[in-house]
Amino acid sequence: MLISDIFPVRYESLPKLYKYEINTTDNKNSVAGKLAYRLKKMYHGHWASSFGNVISDKNLSLEEINKTLNELWKDNNSQFKNLIGMKLNRDSVPSTIEISEFVAKGILSDFYKQVASKIKNENVTNIKNARITRQHELRGLVVDNRPAVSISVSSKITLEGDLEDYIRSGKDPVGKYVAVSYQSTKGEVTRILGPLSEHRKRLMSQAQDTQTLRAIEEAHDDVDVVAVRTGQNTYSYIASSLNIILTLQNAYLFGISSKQISQYLKFTPDNRKRLISLIERTMTGDAHNEQSILLNNFDSRTNPELFPNLFKVPYSEPVIVGKGEKCEFNPRAIMNSLRRFGLYKYSNNLKNRSIKIGLLMTSSYKNEAKVQSFVNKVKNLIKTLGFDLVVPNIYKFDQSDRVDLERSINDLIENGSDVILAFFPEKPDDEGDLEEVDLYHVFKQVTIKKGVGGQVVNYDTLDNEYAIDNIILGVLGKTGNIPYVLANPLDFCDIVVGLDIAREKKQNLPGSKNAAAIARVYFNNGDFLKYTIHDAPLEGETIPREVLDSLFPVEEFEGKRVIIHRDGYFRGEERKTLEKRAKSIGAEFSLVEVIKTEAPRLYLEDSGNITSPKKGTVFMIDDCNAFLISSPPPFRGSTPRPVRIRNYGPINTNQAIRSILALTQLHYGSLNPPRMPVTIHYSDKIAYFALKGIKPPELTGSIPFWL
C-alpha cells in the first residue's frame, strides 16, 4: 500500500468562513499576508492569506473594517502605505484552495509551538557545539477538488547559538551558510547591512509571514541585519533569527566530525512517517474524532485513483548503445554494455578517439603515487571503451595562490588538453586557506570560459573505485560524445527543452540586478542538440518576449512538437508568450513545470513495514498536477523527495511525467540518475555560474559544459 503525508480536510469541522478582498497598488499576496497577521492581533480568531485575499472565521462589521484601515494608515510603519481598501465579500464563498490554506495557516497554526516543542529533539542525539532539530511545515493543497493539508518534516544541524552570537564573538559571518530558525529557508550570508534600528521599517514592509514580522517586532535595535543569498535572490534577515548550518563539508571548521553529522541527515521512512503521525495527532487528536479538522491521510487502499499505476516500478527505459544495440538501463551494468557495443555517438572533435588529459594537483598533497595510480586506472578503463587517454606530467600549484592556479590551468590549455582533471582537497590544510582561494570555482571559471572541460576529483575519492566510472562518463560527455540515448523515443514530441532563468536581486531595491536565461535542447530520444544562454540584464520577474523568442528560433522550431520543462514556475506572462510564439511559428509547445520544493513524502507499506516508494510512483493531485518519485533516495535508508509536476498541455499529464522520468537516465556525469531530468538538472549550478560571469566563450554550443 502507498501512503502519503497529505490529509483531507473534514468539511463538517470547518467554521463559517469569510473572504476579505484587498485593494492595493503593492503586491497583493505580500500585503494580504501582513494584513492577516495584523488582523489576528487586533481581533483574534483565525486569519490566513491566500492568493491576495484574507480568509477568516471572524465576521467584521463595516465600522470595524473602516476603523482598522484608519489605524493602519495612521501607522508610521510603511508596510500599508499603498493599501487602498479592504472589504468583506459576503457574496463570495472561499475557494477550495483558500479553505486549505486557511486550515494550514490559520487553524493549525495554533499548534505551531506545541508541535515544534515535541519534535525538535525527536530521534536525535546532541553533538558537541551543534544543535540538531526537526522542523515541520504545513501547506494547503487541493486534491481531486477537495481541500487538504500536507505535513512535511525536515532535519537541521546548526552551530550552537545564533548568528548574532557569532558576530558578537568577533567572527565574520560573510560566506557562512545559515538557516532561518523558524523556517526551512537557507542561504549564504553576503554582507552585514547594519543595526536593526536602521532597517526595521524596511524589513517590516518586506516581511511576508507572521513569524518574520513577530521576530522583527521583538528584536532589539542593536541586532545586526545581514544580507542572505538564497537561490537566485538576496533577502535581509536579522542575525538573531539565523543559525549557521553545519554540513559534511564545513563541520571540521567548527571541530565537529562529518561522520557524526552524516548519520543525522539520514531519516528512515519509518522514522519520518512516525514523526508525521506525531505532528498530526498533536494538532488534531484522534483523526476519527468528529471534531478533528483533518481526516486520515490519503493512501492507495482508500483512494486508489490517486495512486495510478502509470509505469512499471521501479521505472526504467531501455537505451541504445553502439550501432543500434538495445539494452536495459541499469546504472551498474551500462558500462559493460558500452564496453561490449561501443558508444551511441562519438565526437568528431577527437582525432582517432584520442583524448589529451591535463592533470593538476595541489603541491601540498604528498601522495602523488596515489594520484598516478588512480589516473592509470582511468586510462586503462577508458581504453576498454575504445579511447586512448594521453596523460602528460602532473602540474602542481600552490593552493593558497589563485594566480598560480590560473597559470597552471592556462598552461595545460595551451598544451592542447581536451579535458583537465584536477585533484583537490575537500578541506584546507596547513598550507592553504580555501575560504580565501575557492579552488573549485576558480577552476571552473577558467576552464568554462576557455571552453575546455574540467573535472574535479577530491583526494578522499581516490579510494572509491565506483567513482572512476562517473569520471570516465564525465570526460566522454565533456568531449562531445553521447554514450547512450533512449531506445523508445518520446513519440508525442519532437524536441524537449529545459528552460530556466537565473536572477540576482539588487541590494535593498526592487528589480533584478543581473539575469541569464538558459535553454537546453534535446531530441525526443535524448540526443543533446545545443544550449543557448541569453545573458543580457533582465528587469522584473519574467523572461521578456524578445528573449523567449530568441531562445526558440523559427528555423529550428517551426512546425515542431516541443515539450518545455520549466525549472520551477512559469512567471508572469511567460506561458502566454510561449503559446503565442508557438502559434506564430506553427509549432506546438507543451508547457510543464518541474518544481523541486513543496512536495510532501510518499511511502510504501509492505507487511506492516514502512519503506521507500520506487522510482515512477505517482500521486495524482488532479488531472494536471502530480507528485512524482523521479529517483531513488541519495542515501540508503533515507526517504526520496518527490518533485511536483504541473502540466499545462497539450500533452497529457502521463506523457509529461514520462518525459521527466525518461530524461533522468541521460545525465552522463554520474551513473546514479538524478532527481531532475537532464533538461534542467544542474540548473541551479549553471545559474550560479552564469551570475558569477562563468560562461563558455560561445553562448550557443553543443558540448554540455556543466557536467
Q: Domains, the chain, ranges and CATH?
A: 18-93 (3.30.70), 115-284 (2.170.260.50), 346-478 (3.40.50.2300), 488-701 (3.30.420.10)
Q: Is the pLDDT of residue 182 over 90?
A: no
Q: Which pLDDT value is given to residue 434? A: 36
Distance CA 307, CA 304 (A): 5
453-458/419-424 β-pairing: parallel
Q: Is the pLDDT of residue 274 over 70?
A: yes
Given pLDDT bands bounded at 50, 70 and 90, which one contains residue 690?
confident
Q: Which pLDDT value is given to residue 630? A: 96
Q: For residue range 100-110, what is the model confidence (pLDDT) as tens digits?
A: 999 999 999 99
Q: Specify the higher pLDDT residue, 173 or 432.
A: 173
Read off the DSSP letter of residue 245: B
Q: Is the pLDDT of residue 354 over 60?
A: yes
Q: For residue range 661-674, what is the model confidence (pLDDT) as tens digits?
A: 999 999 988 888 89
% of the chain surpassing 70 pLDDT: 91
Q: Is the pLDDT of residue 466 over 80?
A: no
In the block, residue with C-alpha cell 511511502: 603
Distance CA 213, CA 36 (A): 11
pTM: 0.87
Region of poorest pLDDT, from 233-247, 253-267, 379-393, 444-458:
253-267
Q: Which pLDDT value is given to residue 512? A: 46
Q: Which amino acid, residue 208?
A: Q
Region of poorest pLDDT, from 41-50, 227-236, 626-635:
227-236
Q: Which pLDDT value is given to residue 59? A: 94
In the block, residue with C-alpha cell 489605524: 71
Given pLDDT bands bounded at 50, 70 and 90, which one contains residue 428?
very low
Q: Specify the higher pLDDT residue, 285 or 355.
A: 355
Q: Which pLDDT value is given to residue 293? A: 92
Burial class, 28, CB count within 10 angstroms (exposed 0-12 / middle 13-18 / buried 19+) = middle
Q: Which pLDDT value is given to residue 431? A: 33
Q: Is the pLDDT of residue 482 over 90?
A: yes
Given pLDDT bands bounded at 50, 70 and 90, which one contains residue 61?
very high
Q: Which pLDDT value is given to residue 208? A: 66
List beta partners, residue 602: 4
Given pLDDT bands bounded at 50, 70 and 90, which one contains residue 330?
confident
Average pLDDT of span 452-475: 87
In the block, residue with C-alpha cell 506492516: 608
Q: Is the pLDDT of residue 57 over 60?
A: yes
List beta partners, residue 512: 505
Selection from 305, 307, 280, 302 nearest residue 103 by Cα: 280
Given pLDDT bands bounded at 50, 70 and 90, which one contains residue 125?
low
Region of poorest pLDDT, from 63-77, 342-356, 376-390:
63-77
Q: Specify the higher pLDDT residue, 144 or 544.
A: 144
Distance CA 603, CA 277 (A): 13
Q: What is the mean pLDDT of the chain?
A: 87
DSSP H/E element including 690: helix 683-691
What Rg do the C-alpha atoms of the chain give, in angstroms? 27
In the block, residue with C-alpha cell 488531472: 623
